Amino acid sequence: MLRVQVHLLLQNKMDITEQVAALAIPNRRKTPVFVHGSSKRQYFAFPKFMMDYILKNPKSWKLWKKLIQSCKWFFDKNPIVIIPCLHSDNFNKINGFSTCSTQQCNDIRDRPINLINAPFKLWITELLEIVDRDAAVKHLIPRIYRCDAKNMYLLNQLLTADEFAFLTPKVLDLVFATWVLDKTEKVVSFEKILESLPQIQAISHLFFADGRDVTLDTVKKIAEMEHVKKFSRMTLQNIPPNFDFVAFSKFMLENKHIWFVLAFYDETITEEYMVEVKAFAEKLKTEDYGNHRRPVIYLNNIDLVHDNNW
C-alpha cells in the first residue's frame, strides 16, 4: 500500500514537503533507532525498509553529509567519511595516506589517515593522488566506499580493469602511468582505456607498457572517439615505435583546440620514426594555430617545435 502511495505522489508531482507529510506514519509505527553510546531512542516517520534503503544507498555525498549531521545513527550503521581528497606520496614524507583539512583540496595534506584496519570507508569528492607502488590495490580500494574524484593521479600501479573502473567513474582530468590488466591478465590497450572514460576531458599518459598497450588500430580508434575530440589537453610520454605517428599527426592538425604534448626518446623509437617526428615538428612551426596553443614535441628532452630544452 505504501509503495502505491509513493508512486501516486510522484505522479502528481506534489511539493516535497507534502510528499513527506503524506508518507509519515502514526507515532506507534515510527521506526526507532539507537545511537551508539546513548540509551535514548530517535524516531523516524518512515517504515524500516525505507530507512534501511536510505542508509545503504546514499545518492550523493552531499546528501550523506546532511544525513550523518542530522543523526549519528546513519554513521553508526554505515560509517562513511567524506573527504575532498586523498594523497599517497612518500616524496612529501607522508606515512601512508593524507587529506586536506579544508572543505576543498588545497594540497596541504595536513590530516594523516590510517587506513589499516580502519572502521570506516572513504567517499572522495575532488581529487585522488596515488603514486606509491601497489598502494591503491593493497590498501586503498577496499577502504573506499565511492570515488567521485574529478582530478586523479594514478602512478606506479598494477590494476585490474574492474579496479580502474571503480576509481574513475567521475574523473575529468587523469594523470596516468599505470598498467591495467583485463581478466586474462593482458594489458588493456590505450584506446580501451579512453573508451572506458566517456566523461574525461584531459589526459596525461606518462608511460606506455613497452608498446603492449598499443595496437595497430590504436590511433585510428582514438581519432574516431567523439569525446576525445573535445579534449582540452592530451599529453603522451615514452611513446613506443608501434604508435602510428603519421595518423596521429593528422589527428592533431584536425583538432587544434587540443593542446598536445608529446615526448619521444631515441632508446625506444627507431631512426626512421625520429625522421617523421622531426619533419612534423618543422611543419608545426609555420602552421596557423590562431588562438590555440601550438603542440609541444620533445625528443630526448629537446622541444623540437619551440627549440628549447625541457
What is the DSSP code string of 98-112?
EE-SSSS--S---EE
Q: What is the pLDDT of residues 153-197, one digit of tens each?
A: 999 899 999 999 999 999 999 999 999 999 999 999 999 999 999
In a domain, 35, yes or no: yes
Q: For residues 178 and 307, which has the higher predicted lDDT (pLDDT)?
A: 178
Average pLDDT of the segment spanning 16-39? 51
Residue 54 confidence (pLDDT): 84
In a domain, 150, yes or no: no
Range with lowest mean pLDDT among 65-79, 144-158, 194-208: 65-79
In a domain, 116, yes or no: no
Residue 2 confidence (pLDDT): 43
Average pLDDT of the segment spanning 13-28? 48
- pLDDT level of residue 243 (50, 70, 90 thresholds): very high
Q: From 60, 78, 96, give the residue that closes a domain.
A: 78
Percent of the chain topping pLDDT 90: 56
In a domain, 180, yes or no: no
How far is it, in rounded angstroms, from Cα 14 to Cα 6? 11
In a domain, 302, yes or no: yes
Query: Do 25 and 49 contact (CB within 8 A), yes or no?
Result: no
In a domain, 176, yes or no: no
**Cell numbers at residue 222, please?**
582514438
- Domain range for 216 is 189-310
In a domain, 179, yes or no: no
**Cell numbers at residue 168, please?**
574513475
First to last CA, the chain: 69
Residue 28 confidence (pLDDT): 46
Q: For residues 84 and 18, which has the higher predicted lDDT (pLDDT)?
A: 84
Query: Do 140 and 130 contact (CB within 8 A), yes or no?
Result: yes
Number of separate domains in the chain: 2
Average pLDDT of the segment spanning 125-131? 93
Query: Do 248 and 234 contact (CB within 8 A), yes or no?
Result: no
Mean pLDDT across the chain: 85
248 has pLDDT over 80: yes
14 has pLDDT over 60: no
Q: What is the pLDDT of residues 262-292, one digit of tens each?
A: 999 988 899 999 999 999 999 999 999 999 9
Q: From 17, 47, 78, give the residue that closes a domain.
A: 78
In a domain, 39, yes or no: yes
At 215, give phi and psi (nearest 5°): -115, 175
Q: Which of 154, 110, 100, 148 is nearest to 132 (CA)?
A: 154
Q: What is the pLDDT of residues 199-218, one digit of tens each?
A: 999 999 999 978 899 999 99
- Type of residue numbered 90: N
Strand ranges (E), 223-295: 233-236, 259-264
Residue 31 confidence (pLDDT): 62
SS3 202: strand
Output the pTM of the full model: 0.81
Q: For residue 27, what are the CA distances in angstroms to 9, 14, 82? A: 22, 23, 33
Q: How many CB atoms lie within 10 A of CB 111?
A: 14
Q: From 33, 54, 78, give the residue that closes a domain.
A: 78
Q: Which residues lie across from 123 on neighbouring strands?
A: 82, 146
- pLDDT level of residue 18 (50, 70, 90 thresholds): low
Average pLDDT of the segment spanning 112-125? 88
